[in-house]
Structure 1
Amino acid sequence: MTGAGNARLRSAVLAAAWVRIPGVEVLSSGDGGPLTRTIKKIIDPLVVRTAARPRLGRPLLEPAAAAELTELLLADAPRLRATAAWFTHLKRQRRALRITAGDVQDVCFPLAYELATAFGMPGPEAPEKAVSALRELHGEGDEAGIAQLTAYLDDPRVAADLTADLRRHWRSDAGLAAEDAVALLGGFVSDLSDTAWRTLARSAAGHALGLALRRPGGADVLTQPVSDLGLQRGDRTAVPPLLRRDEAGPELLERSVERRVRATLRRLPAGERGPVDALVEDERRRVVAGFGLGLPALATCFALGVVLAPALRPLDGAAPSEIPEFARQLNAQVAREGYVLHARRALAGATPLTPRPDPELVRELREFAKQFLGRLWIRLHGFDVRGDRPADAADVRDLVTGVVRSTSLDLRTKVRRALVARLPDLEAVS
């Protein structure tokens, strides 16, 4: 622990505590710290419970918070060791049952922790218990819910009624000009105080800006074209369809109702879901709200991301001085990453990014703002489904900062994989 008053990176605190727990290798990364998914699926929601202790989820921790986080993690060491052991059983039995739904870590990390809580370390009956848990999870899980959803939307009368309802409510008015919404958002970015956040959260700023994008010229209040941000295809947001077969487009605001309900099915345990018609109606109401988010505070959080996005250009280096300090800090957080500096040198012609051209990787690096907004919207949609929202300005800052960080880590991993895969060729040309 550093001296009093010195904040520490949360990731460093977690890594230092994690290496003191033996027997958790399957939950650990190559450097010995916890995997990103271990943090996301086990440590934060189940061990630390950051929803109830948001002060322990911030990127920088004061000494007292760092000590509390370390204590919580070490106190749960026996259960974490059991979780690692159960995960091995779940992974083996999942393969035997030929279950492919969802990412194995996303699905099995929380389930392994649940089994560790119920039974401790796995015993001789562990394979049977793992099979039973997997069948209970998947038998009435996503696949059954999706089948019900598909059957419901395939009913011609249901589809006609919902489509008419969507179109009827699509062109609504938030009662606030888009220019005024941007001004309110800019005021919060410059101030970042609880007072400014309360004013912003009570306003219709988020919905107003989202609804403005449905009108020709409505995006003129933004400093970056919406096509560059991955929000929509044309100059106005099209009414999302109920169903779009083989949908894979990235346009956030034009995702079908069916795709959004599928996301809800993934986020909610089977026991917490309502009937499929109620899930569809909930999502229909979200679709017609600004930015497709029902809670005004969450629409405002996404609008804030849209306003900040033009400053997130790490490949260009430091943001201009006229950009608000918070936006410059976010950009600097990524711009000083080693993989970004390497990419900048490569694009300047000083050294190859990879031995062979990798236009897809370069495109993703250039489109950092789009990647950030995609991840932010998914996070906020999850909040909307569960009825969560930021409590204060610090929560909003932590949310945005965390999404920037996770976007950066994802891109860093892609660059690292490309470099490692082509290391012999890279050495030959360097």
Structure 2
Amino acid sequence: MPPSSRPRAMVIDGAWRGLGAGVAALSGPGGAPLTRTVKLIVLPLIVRPALHPELAEDFLGPEQAARLDALIRESGGRLEATARWFVLLKKVRRALGIVAGNPQDLYFQRCFELATEHGAPADGAEAVAKAVVEEVVDAAGGRTVAALKEHLADVGRRARIEAELAAAWDSRGSAPPADAAAAASAADEVLEARGGSDSPAYAAMVREALGSRFGRALWTDPGDVWGGGLPAHLGLTARPVPPRPGVGRGASTATLPAPLDRTLFERLFSVLQSSARRDELPSVPNLVARETGRSCAPLGLHDESLRVAVVVGARLAAGLDPLGGGEPERGRTAAHRAVNARWRREASALRARRMTVSPRPDPDGGVLDALARDLRAPWAAYMRRLWVRLHGWDVRGEPLPDSASAWAVLDGVARSVMMDHRARVRAALRALAEPAAEAVERRSA
């Protein structure tokens, strides 16, 4: 990385803060753009890396950074209008009593379209907003958490589904023991290629059903698969082995258990709550029927290519070492080197690394130390997010046909976990800085 380069995320952050209070509805408490703002609006609709490939890199030279800054600032008026439309759509949504789905996922890009077409909300805007909200609901076609809860409230239906879950769990069958060394070696070959088309290892893993065999091994005797004392499931379950799923009655995003410990309701809640493409999902009764079998399948997935992606992702996760200094045998592929190098350049990782070697206690009482601990054991967060993403693909019947598509998902999850940790560190630092700033103001008053 040349000395004059700057992280693209930092350039976006600086340009965004320069837009002022008009974009507050699209910003976090500290004024930075929300993660979904960057993902759904800034990158695809303003930066448009496909048209500006020079702005697609993680680190930008001075000329590229200036161009990116200018693109965002030039879009300031449209972004302010987007923020105002978003506030209006949320108001209309509340008035209509709609609670399903994440408003940012559902409305951010629609609000940008409204801002482009109409400018800021004016006379008649409420009718336009109501039409958009109702259109989004119609597109969901009854595929909502409320519809799921109503479907599973029927006593007779619940009893039947419980019986089907028990039968599916009891009839899982057996398979030859998973050869951990062979699976790890094949996964390493896939990770070394990093999505290149010259490695047949991924197709061979799918053909030999290594994902299914690994998933079945987690039901019986997981063993020491990855070395270094890491659990074979890497946080996919909080139990020694995954339990039989139940039907369930409710779910909360804040308290969802590990993926393989979730009830049928919790598994589908996650899909319905986070999906911006609910119109592509089966109806709720079909979702439930298919999920009954899926929840009792190896790794909780039907498609073998997605199960193999879990195994390859687990091999990558077991070698994640954001702080450096980990066991060298865990991170020997090109994928490990690339992902770990990217993470170690993060300021949040550098701060956490300093904390791990500092003899002084964490001055904030443990907030940042907890974040540092996450970096010492990053595999659980990675595997949890990877499984949720693959589960969504499985529900839609979308396999990962080759190593390139698998690597795109594996690398995308690594970037997502890294960005999430960065946001949490920044939020913690802002929270710590505010009392100090208030103390300074009191002393100077």
What range describes the TM-score normalised by the shorter chain of this pair?
Answer: 0.7 to 0.9
Give the CA deviation at 1:145: 1.9
* Secondary structure, aligned partner of 1:91: helix
CA contact (8 A) 2:175 2:216 kept: yes
Deviations 1:94-146 (A, max 9, x none): 45556554443223214424645776764411112223433554584624322
Q: Which runs of 5+ in 1 are unaligned?
A: none
Measured in 1, the distance between the counterparts of 2:371 and 2:173 equals: 38
Partner of residue 259 from structure 2, selected from 239, 246, 252 = 252
Structure 2 match to 1:126: 125
CA contact (8 A) 1:354 1:426 kept: no
Measured in 2, the distance between the counterparts of 1:407 and 1:141 equals: 28
CA contact (8 A) 2:245 2:262 kept: yes
Partner of residue 331 from structure 2, selected from 319, 323, 331 = 323
| 1:222 counterpart = 2:226 | yes
Letter in structure 1 aligned against 2:421 = L
CA contact (8 A) 1:312 1:327 kept: yes
Letter in structure 1 aligned against 2:245 = P
Structure 1 match to 2:169: 167
Q: How does 1:129-278 map to 2 (within 5 A)?
A: 129-138=128-137, 140=142, 142-152=144-154, 155-173=157-175, 177-192=179-194, 193-196=196-199, 197-216=202-221, 218-223=222-227, 224-226=229-231, 229-243=234-248, 248-266=255-273, 267=275, 269=277, 271-278=279-286
Letter in structure 2 aligned against 1:324 = R
Measured in 2, the distance between the counterparts of 1:57 and 1:145 equals: 42
Structure 2 match to 1:87: 86
* Secondary structure, aligned partner of 1:220: coil
Letter in structure 2 aligned against 1:107 = L
Letter in structure 1 aligned against 2:37 = T
Give the CA deviation at 1:211: 1.7
CA contact (8 A) 1:188 1:200 kept: no
Structure 2 match to 1:311: 319
Number of residue pairs aligned between Structure 1 and Structure 2:
415
Identity %: 32
Which of 301-310 and 311-320 deviates more?
Answer: 311-320
CA contact (8 A) 2:209 2:304 kept: yes
Deviations 1:32-57 (A, max 9, x none): 9864202433466778999x99x999
Give the CA deviation at 1:221: 2.4
Measured in 1, the distance between the counterparts of 2:244 and 2:346 equals: 39
* Secondary structure, aligned partner of 1:214: helix
Give the CA deviation at 1:81: 6.8
Give the CA deviation at 1:279: 0.5
Deviations 1:147-185 (A, max 9, x none): 333225762442343223322443343796444333321
Measured in 1, the distance between the counterparts of 2:178 and 2:48 equals: 37
Letter in structure 1 aligned against 2:414 = V
* Secondary structure, aligned partner of 1:314: coil
Letter in structure 1 aligned against 2:344 = A
Structure 1 match to 2:341: 332
Measured in 2, the distance between the counterparts of 1:329 and 1:20 equals: 32
Measured in 2, the distance between the counterparts of 1:18 and 1:425 equals: 25
Letter in structure 2 aligned against 1:262 = F
* Secondary structure, aligned partner of 2:328: coil
Distance change (3 Å), C-alpha of 1:56 and 1:306:
farther
Letter in structure 2 aligned against 1:215 = T
Letter in structure 2 aligned against 1:163 = L
Measured in 2, the distance between the counterparts of 1:388 and 1:110 equals: 24
| Structure ranking higher on relative contact order (CA contacts 8 Å, 6+ apart) | 2
| 1:411 counterpart = 2:418 | no
CA contact (8 A) 1:11 1:59 kept: no
Measured in 1, the distance between the counterparts of 2:300 and 2:177 equals: 17
Measured in 2, the distance between the counterparts of 1:21 and 1:198 equals: 48
Q: Which runs of 5+ in 2 are unaligned?
A: 440-445
Letter in structure 2 aligned against 1:229 = L
Measured in 1, the distance between the counterparts of 2:117 and 2:394 equals: 30
Which of 13-22 and 34-43 deviates more?
Answer: 13-22
CA contact (8 A) 2:251 2:265 kept: no
Letter in structure 2 aligned against 1:182 = A
Letter in structure 1 aligned against 2:354 = R
Measured in 1, the distance between the counterparts of 2:287 and 2:136 equals: 19
Letter in structure 2 aligned against 1:226 = P
Measured in 2, the distance between the counterparts of 1:310 and 1:233 equals: 17
Structure 2 match to 1:291: 299
Letter in structure 1 aligned against 2:106 = V
Letter in structure 2 aligned against 1:306 = A
Which of 38-47 and 272-281 deviates more?
Answer: 38-47
Partner of residue 310 from structure 2, selected from 302, 305, 310 = 302
Distance change (3 Å), C-alpha of 1:284 and 1:41:
farther
Distance change (3 Å), C-alpha of 1:60 and 1:148:
same
Partner of residue 408 from structure 2, selected from 398, 409, 421 = 398
CA contact (8 A) 1:185 1:304 kept: yes
CA contact (8 A) 2:8 2:60 kept: no
Letter in structure 2 aligned against 1:200 = M
Distance change (3 Å), C-alpha of 1:45 and 1:207:
farther
* Secondary structure, aligned partner of 2:323: helix
Letter in structure 2 aligned against 1:222 = W
Distance change (3 Å), C-alpha of 1:56 and 1:280:
farther
* Secondary structure, aligned partner of 2:152: helix
Measured in 2, the distance between the counterparts of 1:46 and 1:144 equals: 32
Distance change (3 Å), C-alpha of 1:304 and 1:138:
same
